[in-house]
């Protein structure tokens, strides 16, 4: 049995300045709010909705664990909750490290009920306050 990656969308977002929570028992914690985001693809197009998005990042040693939640509104008015966890290397010597994520979606909109059933994977980069991802449905 082999896996197939089917392009779902790209994500481009602008991030706010981080809020430093501090060094906790789990590691250094910070919150980065999503100022705006755009989702573009053949099957999924929309934008982040309001101020509903943020990344709760925990850094332990050189590993950054991502915990992201946001709400998107599709171009045709559906509301979709998006959440993903992921990992990145912190402090890489040669430029920004890739971000590896596994998005999941939830919606009650019948037109997008299919998105409740899929698992995605993605790879991205963050440079300054700009974030870019390529997301794929796993089949």
- Residue 69 confidence (pLDDT) above 90: yes
Report whether pLDDT(68) > 90: yes
As a whole number, mean pLDDT of residues 71-77 equals 97
Nearest-angstrom CA–CA distance, 56 and 52: 13
Predicted confidence at residue 14, as pLDDT, reads 94
Rounded to an integer, the average pLDDT of 111-137 is: 96
d(CA 4, CA 116): 18
Label the pairing between strands 27-40 and 19-24: antiparallel
- Note the pTM of the prediction, 2 decimals: 0.92
How far is Cα 34 from Cα 17, in angstroms, rounded to an integer? 9
**Residue 131 pLDDT:** 94
Domains in the chain and their CATH numbers? 5-138 (2.40.160.20)
| Residue 135 Cα distances to 11, 29, 57, 113, angstroms | 8, 25, 20, 18
Confidence of residue 70 (pLDDT cuts 50, 70, 90): very high
Digit-coded pLDDT (tens) for 8-67:
999 999 999 999 999 988 899 999 999 999 999 999 999 999 777 899 999 999 999 999
Report the pLDDT value the prediction gives residue 112, as an integer from 0 to 100. Answer: 98
Q: What is the mean pLDDT of the chain?
A: 94
What is the band of 94 on the pLDDT scale with cuts at 50, 70, 90?
low
Task: Centre a 10 Å sphere on the Cβ of residue 16 and count the other Cβ atoms it contains.
Answer: 15
Q: Which residues contact 138 (CB under 8 A, 6 or more apart)?
A: 3, 4, 5, 118, 119, 120, 121
Confidence of residue 96 (pLDDT cuts 50, 70, 90): confident
């Amino acid at each position: 049995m082999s896996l197939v990656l089917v392009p779902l969308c790209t994500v481009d977002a602008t991030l706010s300045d981080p809020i430093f929570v501090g060094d906790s028992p789990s590691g250094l914690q910070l919150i980065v709010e999503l100022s705006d985001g755009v989702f573009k693809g053949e099957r999924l197009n929309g934008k982040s909705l309001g101020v509903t998005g943020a990344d709760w990042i925990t850094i332990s040693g050189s590993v950054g664990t991502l915990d992201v939640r946001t709400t998107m509104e599709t171009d045709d008015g559906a509301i979709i909750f998006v959440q993903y966890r992921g990992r990145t290397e912190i402090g890489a010597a040669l430029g920004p490290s890739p971000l590896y994520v596994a998005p999941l979606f939830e919606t009650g909109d019948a037109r997008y009920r299919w998105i409740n059933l899929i698992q995605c994977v993605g790879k991205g980069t963050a440079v300054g306050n700009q974030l870019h991802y390529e997301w794929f449905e796993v089949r």
